[in-house]
Amino acid sequence: MRYSDKYPLSQAGQPLSQQECTDARYNAALGSGEWAPFNSRMDWEIARWAKLRGPGSTAFSDLLSIEGVQEALDLSYKNSGELNHIIDERLPSRPKFHRREVVVQGEAMEFYCRDIIECLRALWGDPDFAEDLIFEPERHYSDDDEVTRLFHGMETGKWWWRVQKEVETETGQKKCTIIPIIISSDKTQLTQFRNKSAYPVYMTIGNLPKHIRRKPSRQGQVLIAYLPTSRLEHVTNQASRRRCVANLFHHCMKHVLNPLGKAGRHGVVLTDGNGAARRCYPILSIFVGDYPEQVLVTLVKTGKCPVCPAERDGIGDLDSILPPRDIGPIRRALRKVKDGPLAFTKACSSVGIKPIQDPFWLNLPYVNIYEAITPDILHQVYQGVFKHVLKWIYAACGEAEIDARCRRLPPNHNIRLFLKGITHLSRVTGTEHDQISRFILGLLVDIRLPDGLSNTRLVRVVRSLLDFIYLAKYPIHSSETLDAMEEALFTFHENLDVFVLLGIREHFDIPKFHFIGHYRTFLELYGTTDNFNTEYTERMHIEMAKEAYAATNRKDEYSQMTLWLERREKIIQHEKYTRRCRSVRPGIIKPLPCLIPLRHQLMAKNPTRRAVGFDELRDKYGATDFEYVLARFVIQCQNPTFTRAQIEASASSLHLPFYGVAVFHRLKFWSNDAYAYDPLARQVVDSIHVEPTRLDKYNNPIPGRFDVALINHKDGGPAGVIGYCAARVRCLFSLPPAALARWFPQGFPHAHLAYVEWFTPFSVARFDPNSKLYRISPLMSQNVRQASIIPITLIRQSLHLFPKFGAVAPSLWKSSNVLDMSSIFYANPFSDRFPYSTVY
């Protein structure tokens, strides 16, 4: 990895002065005492539990009212009211919410908002972020000649670099720090009944690494407003109602974001958690939302692209992709509102927008709202393009056959099995579409289409769409991966008319099909899609809207919700402060994002079963030749130079001085997150199950599970299939220490071993050019599966297999026995990003 100089010939991001750090000011506000304003650690921990994990306020007060409880715990509060008083009066906080009222055609509505500059000041000054803040744009390259550019965080995109130049040119200042403001909004349901909804608006900044922004626990996003949710049903004319709703949205958003105008032009001095003061220019860079939000913000009509001026007819074609709209003519048209309604409407119509008075972004500096509408993997891809294609697949292939094949897929750690099928699912979430995308290609490789039509183009459509999805989700991109993503998009459109031939569709003029053609532009402008994923907003809704509403009495709920959120924020901020006081977070070298974090193997400290005999290994685990294969392995380790014939001859005479081995039922793979509070925390990312059939507590049999793994059998590299082979793991075990001491007196380097049954090697001859899947079969010799014992360190990952179903899925196959009954399989690269980046 090679970096260019950071922003050249300037002092971008340089501090103006050094002031007192945030923690010092925070400590002075609290008063004396290690746990101030609480009396002791227990006093604080119980308060934290009550506000973050505990029951409702009434239940907590009832608990403390039990005689002796408050005295025994030595608490500084006797009920929820007193605890709330301590939190409200003595804990420093982020800005408070203020109630505002707006009247639309006689209906008065309230909305709650915060001062966005004060929210920015609190976010920028959080000591937890002081070491992670990014102050200037960068250009990253993967080669010394600086030809192949890399994109990941916002600082590596072209937008930040361009705006840095514009601000320095217009202000004449050199010590300028750009703060890319990221706004996201999405209306969400608060209740399943009564149709109660909320309209939260969140803010974060591009100066925070995306690893922090995407974690709600880090508080990298701030709720800045609850917008009105009224449908204005008293306005009877539908066209007038739609205009009123749009004007209401822009009026409220203008009130919330208006302070960014002055701050973006003249700058505002902000102090980070370490006390360094900088002149910062907060500039709206990204607005995150689904399609209804996008057309509302950009003033375009539903059915059109919110980015470019493509016509509605033919919008689904790849050649309809145009550069983003020029904001200049649109600004001039919007300012004609002073010329009267007719002139204003005509001017807006001439530039292809709706006549909305005073949109919130009109007077914000350095903003082109049509460049701020970013890709949305959740709504555009999973809940848009993939959802449509999936329905067309059901129509083409038949729901019964699709469900039958779903029920016969083998298990894998990263694959969710839909044992009742997928066609009957209702209200399918983006997460479920993600899970379905991981195996849908395997259902179609050899499926039969109506009227004898070849399934080649259908397979190409699905394969290219999956390639596009997986590439679009990469956490780091290069020029090559962006080219590959565009090539996948071209192949997708080239074969899409298979659904026309099948009589399922007449056209593909769907805005979401059009928008994915803009992905490369936005990836180069703002970095990878995980910088602005709407899944983060969906996750924020749980705490910032749904849980907040659940804590109210359902009357005048917003005043209670905002107060509940303020108290919760104070507790979380104080929790972070006490954590910093108790321990110094070690300095960590923050690595660049990578496709695959470094993985480590993890075995249980103690075996699942301490002694499993050879007969049981053969009958229950399927390790049919365990004794002979183990003897062969021992001879090979003792005599690395022996030929195969010598190994075979010596193995037949080797005596095994034991009758069983210690067996393990799980091999796990874990990685850690350098941006977590605890950088040593482990996260399991893959696992291999090796379990025989067993009975549950009701004596019902639970089928055995023996997963397939990818084995490095001949010096395989970090990517590709050369040197690798698939094998089914039948047993994970360790040898008795006495036997190891006898066989290897100089020591044995492997703590755990695996008995595996091989599949045929990956080869170009067995590569399907349409699905781009490798075809493999069990490796047989004289009708016996070839097996070996290997060190588990040669296992790179689990590997999911698609069975070759044929024209119709065999009725005898089940998910639990398909690996035994099928004779041909396809290696699945879509179970996770790791196999996609290595097997593909």
DSSP per-residue letters across 567-617:
HHHHHHHHHHHHHHHH-PPPP---PPP-SS---EEE--SS-SEEEEEHHHH
pLDDT score recorded for residue 676: 59
Q: With 70 as the cut, is the pLDDT of residue 426 above it?
A: yes
Percent of the chain scored above 90 by pLDDT?
68
Pairwise CA distance, residues 204 & 499, whole Å: 42
pLDDT confidence of residue 425: 92
Q: At 308, phi and psi to the nearest 5? A: -115, 165
Task: Answer yes or no: do 667 and 762 share one domain.
Answer: yes
| 760 in the same domain as 628 | yes
Q: How far apart are CA 234 and CA 383, in angstroms?
A: 33
Candidate from 32-36, 85-89, 513-517, 728-732 with smallest mean pLDDT = 32-36
pLDDT at position 196 is: 86
Residue 111: what are its φ and ψ, rounded to 5°? -145, 155
* Mean per-residue pLDDT, 247-255: 94
Token duo for residue 796? 């790179």
> How does residue 293 score in pLDDT terms, banded at 50, 70 and 90?
very high
- Whether 566 shows a pLDDT value over 70: the answer reads yes
Over range 227-245, report the average pLDDT.
Answer: 87
Three-class DSSP category at 524: helix
- Averaged pLDDT score across all residues of the chain: 90
The reply to whether 723 and 790 lie within a common domain is yes
- Which comes out higher in pLDDT, residue 127 or 8? 127
Q: Is residue 430 part of a domain?
A: yes
Q: Region of 695 please: left (phi>0), alpha (psi -120 to 50) or beta.
A: beta
Q: Would residue 635 count as lying in a domain?
A: yes
| Segment 804-829 mean pLDDT | 94
Residue 185, domain member (yes or no): no
pLDDT at residue 679, rounded to an integer: 56
Evaluate whether residue 370 is within a structural domain.
Answer: no
Q: Crossing angle for the helix pair 158-171 and 519-526, nearest 10 degrees? A: 50
Vertex 666, ends 815 and 612: CA angle to 5°? 100
Cα(583)–Cα(590) distance, integer angstroms? 19
Confidence at residue 514, expressed as pLDDT on a 0 to 100 scale? 96
Q: Which residue has the tokens 């109660």?
A: 196
User: Cα-flanking dihedrals φ and ψ of residue 109, to 5°?
Assistant: -130, 150
User: Are 445 and 828 a contacting pair, CB within 8 Å?
Assistant: no
178 has pLDDT over 50: yes
- Cβ atoms of 362 and 334 closer than 8 Å: yes
**What pLDDT does residue 569 have?**
92
Rounded mean pLDDT, 301-320: 93
Per-residue pLDDT at 677 exceeds 60: no
Residue where the block lists tokens 């007196």 = 745
Which CA distances in Å does 668 have to 409, 413, 682, 795?
22, 10, 11, 11
Structural domain includes residue 427: yes
Alpha-carbon gap, residue 813 to 96, rounded angstroms: 61
**Does one domain contain both 401 and 343?**
no
Q: How is residue 553 written in tokens?
A: 């009495």
pLDDT of residue 783: 85
Considering 66, 90, 114, which residue would you say is the last residue of a domain?
A: 90
The residue with tokens 């083998």 is 410
User: Residue holding tokens 């929820």?
Assistant: 80
What does the pLDDT read at residue 193? Answer: 67
pLDDT score of 693: 92
- Paired sense of beta strands 222-226 and 200-205, if any: antiparallel
Does the structure show a pLDDT above 50 at 165?
yes
Please tell me the number of Cα atoms within 13 Å of 590 on its side-chain side.
Answer: 15
pLDDT at 673: 66
pLDDT at 67 over 70: yes
Assigned token pair, 565:
């959120």
* 493 & 429 share domain: yes
d(Cα 688, Cα 706) in Å, to the nearest integer? Answer: 8
Give the structural domain span for 514.
377-526
Residue 568 lies inside a defined structural domain of this protein: no
- Centroid of chain to Cα 623: 39
Please report, to the nearest 10 degrees, the dihedral formed by the alpha carbons of residues 387, 390, 392, 394 taken in order.
Answer: -140
Whether pLDDT at 234 is above 90: no
Residue-wise pLDDT for 485-513, tens only, equals 999 999 999 999 999 999 999 999 999 99
Determine, yes or no, domain membership for 255. Answer: no
C-beta separation of 691 from 620 below 8 A? no
Return the minimum-mean-pLDDT range out of 595-604, 607-616, 808-817: 595-604
- Specify the pLDDT at position 586: 47
User: Are 304 and 390 in a shared domain?
Assistant: no
Residue type, 560: Q
What are 196's two structure tokens? 């109660």
Q: Is residue 618 pLDDT above 80, yes or no?
A: yes
- In this prediction, residue 4 carries a pLDDT of 56
Domain limit, last residue, from 487, 508, 526: 526
**Shared domain check, 502 and 446:** yes
Give the mean pLDDT of 759-772. 92
Q: Would you say residue 1 has pLDDT above 50? A: no
DSSP reduced 3-state for 690? strand
Q: Give pLDDT, residue 292.
A: 93
Average pLDDT estimate for 827-838 = 90
Instruction: Assess whether pLDDT exceeds 80 at residue 594.
Output: no
Closest CA to 178 of 199, 198, 197, 162: 162
Tell me, what's the pLDDT at 65? 92
More confident of the two residues 10 and 546 = 546
Domain final position from 90, 116, 132: 90
Is there a single domain that holds both residue 349 and residue 404? no
Q: Is 783 left (phi over 0), alpha (psi -120 to 50) or beta?
A: left
Residues 633 and 677 occupy one common structural domain: yes
- Mean pLDDT across the stretch 137-151? 88
| Residues 271-291: tens digit of each pLDDT | 998 889 999 999 999 999 999
List C-alpha distances in Å: 6 to 136, 140, 150, 177, 647.
7, 9, 14, 13, 60
pLDDT at 664 over 80: yes
Domain shared by 341 and 425, yes or no:
no
- Judge whether 569 and 223 are in contact, CB under 8 Å: no
Q: Could you tell me if 497 and 617 lie in one domain?
A: no
Instruction: Answer whether residue 7 shows pLDDT above 70.
Output: no
Domain identity same for 382 and 472: yes
Q: How many domains does the chain divide into?
A: 4
**Spatial contact of 22 and 127, defined as CB atoms under 8 Å apart:** yes
**Per-residue pLDDT band at 554 (split at 50, 70, 90):** confident
Assess if residue 26 is contained within a domain. no
Q: Which of 378, 356, 742, 733 is nearest to 537 (CA)?
A: 378
